[in-house]
Structure 1
Amino acid sequence: MRLSAEPAFVLHSRPWRETSLLVEVLSEHHGRLGLVARGVQGPKKQALRAALQPLQWIRFDAVQVGELARLNTAEALDVAPRLSGEAMLSGFYLNELTLRLAPRQDPAPELYEAYGRARVRLGAGEPLAWTLRRFERDLLDALGFGFDWANDGDGTPIDSAARYQLDPEYGPRRVLSDRGHGDRSRAATGRGLLALAADRAPEVDDLPGLRRAMRDVLAHYLGPRGLKSWDMLAELNRVSRPPNQNAAD
């Protein structure tokens, strides 16, 4: 199969053999693809190497051969966001989460659009925690794992004054007390879930609960092996933040 002028976002790139790269991209029409870029070393290939860096938006031509596609040409469609610190870790998180959960060669146009929106928000310096929660919601929805965020698993409207755990199979499940009905420390506020459903920025106090509840859902689909970016963010929190304050909150 030939891929011509296919838009994509670069998720990951690593050296392969002496002069080549293995590149993972999220393409507009074909989902996540693995590309082999041969012979990209040397001064004449500098523009191509730059186009194949993570977070770059590109257009490429390739030929699909088995699991991997052979890259013929690629060009950058814009300038990738210049990120540092927590924003850079957040970009790494977007890429790692997409790599782990999006299957190869399975078209996911909604995920492609969601990634593009999150990338713009990171580059614009929008609040990181809200940017990441929106992307997590959109990724789950695009891959068929999402919920009706405004209602619990039984279809009852979310109570803004209550707390909810996110059960991957059931949906939002109300936490009735600290004894026998769920862990409130892992629960999201109803107010936060309603904000997520309405795509409205939550109150600051609602963001930590949303983060923890969403992480439990993502961990269910990721399996026993977590994300490197989670470990990196945890370490950043440990060395740079006061107790009970998190960089991703």
Structure 2
Amino acid sequence: MRLTAEPAFVLHARPWRETSLLVEVLSERHGRMGLVARGVQGPKRQVLRAALQPLQWIRFDAVQQGELARLVSAEALDAAPRLVGDAMLAGFYLNELTLRLAPRQDPQPGLFAAYGRARARLGSDDSVAWTLRRFERDLLDELGVGFEWHCDGDGVAIDAAARYRLDPEHGPRRLLMDRGQADRAGAATGAGLLALGADTRPGAEDLSSLRRALRGVLAHHLGPRGLKSWEMLESLARVTPRRLPPASTRQHDDGTA
């Protein structure tokens, strides 16, 4: 099968043999795909190599050959966002999460659109944490394992003043008031869930609770092997505690992944 002028986002690229690359992309019409880009390491192929960098939006031609497709040509459709700090780590997380959970050669136009929105937001002044929570929500929805964010797993309306544990198979489960501190620490606030469902950015505490709760759901679908971006974030937190600006100028944004 020949693919012509297929839009895609580059998720990952790694050297293969001496002069080639193995590239993973999220394409608009064919879902996640693996591409073999042959002979791209020479000095005359610099433009092509630049087009195959992670986060790049491209248009490519390829010939499908079994599980992998042979790349014929590719061109960048814009300049990939130049990310630094938390946004750079968030971009790595965005790609790794998509790479791990999106199935190969399964058309996911909704996921393609959600990725494009998240990518654009990371390159803007939008909240990094809120950008990632929205993408996680959209990813789960597009894969068919998302939740009804306005009600719990039993169909009862979410109480903004309560806390909920996200059961990957059942949906939100309301916590009882006497549950331990550990259970509450990993639970989302009802206000946070309602805000996520309404696509309205919640306050700092509610946003922070969404990160912890959604991580448990994602870990369930990822299986026993977690994400390298999670490991990187935890290592950085241990080795170099974040320096916060004075409280009067601090922007409350519960970071990345």
TM-score bin, normalised by smaller chain: over 0.9
Alignment match, 1:143: 143
1:247 matches 2:255:
yes
- Give the deviation of 1:84 after TM superposition: 1.1
- Equivalent residue, structure 2, for 1:117: 117
Q: Is the 8 A contact 1:56 1:79 kept in 2?
A: yes
Which residue matches 1:80?
80
2:230 matches 1:230? yes
2:231 paired with 1:220: no
C-alpha distance in structure 1 between counterparts of 2:220 and 2:178, whole Å: 22
1:43 deviates by 1.8
Contact 1:177 1:184 in 2 (8 A): no
The residue aligned with 1:106 is 106
> Relative to 1, partners in 2 of residues 1:208 and 1:181: Cα closer, same or farther, differing over 3 Å?
closer
Change (3 A) 1:180 1:240: closer
**In the TM superposition, what whole-angstrom CA distance separates every residue of 1:144-168 from its partner, at most 9, and x where no partner exists?**
0101011100111110000001000
Q: For the residues of structure 2 that align with 1:34 and 1:219, how far apart are their CA atoms? A: 24
Other-structure match for 1:37: 37
| Matching residue of 2:250 | none
Aligned residues of 2:204 and 2:254 also touching (Cα < 8 A): no
- The 1-side partners of 2:255 and 2:77 are apart by 31
Q: Contact 1:20/1:40 (CA < 8 Å) preserved in 2?
A: yes
TM normalised by structure 1 equals 0.96
The Cα offsets for residues 188-218 of structure 1, whole Å up to 9 and x where unpaired, read as 0000000000000011111121000000000
Q: Which residue of 2 aligns with 1:184?
A: 184
Gapped regions of structure 2 (runs ≥ 5): 245-252
- Normalising by structure 2, report the TM-score: 0.93
Q: Distance in 2 between matches of 1:137 and 1:246?
A: 17
Partner secondary structure for residue 230 of structure 2:
helix
Identity of aligned residues (%): 74
For residues 206 and 242 of structure 1, do their structure 2 counterparts lie closer, same or farther at Cα, with a shift above 3 Å needed? Answer: farther
Counterpart code for 2:69:
A
* Unaligned segments of structure 1, at least 5 residues: none
User: Which consecutive aligned stretches of 4+ in structure 1 deviate over 4 angstroms post-superposition?
Assistant: none
Equivalent position amino acid for 2:48 in 1: L
Q: Distance in 1 between matches of 2:64 and 2:154?
A: 44
Contact 1:175–1:182 (CA under 8 A) maintained in structure 2: no
Alignment of 1:87-102 (within 5 A): 87-102=87-102
Q: Provide the residue aligned with 1:65 in structure 2.
A: 65
Question: Structure 1 residue 179: deviation in Å?
Answer: 3.3
C-alpha separation in 1, matches of 2:69 and 2:256: 35
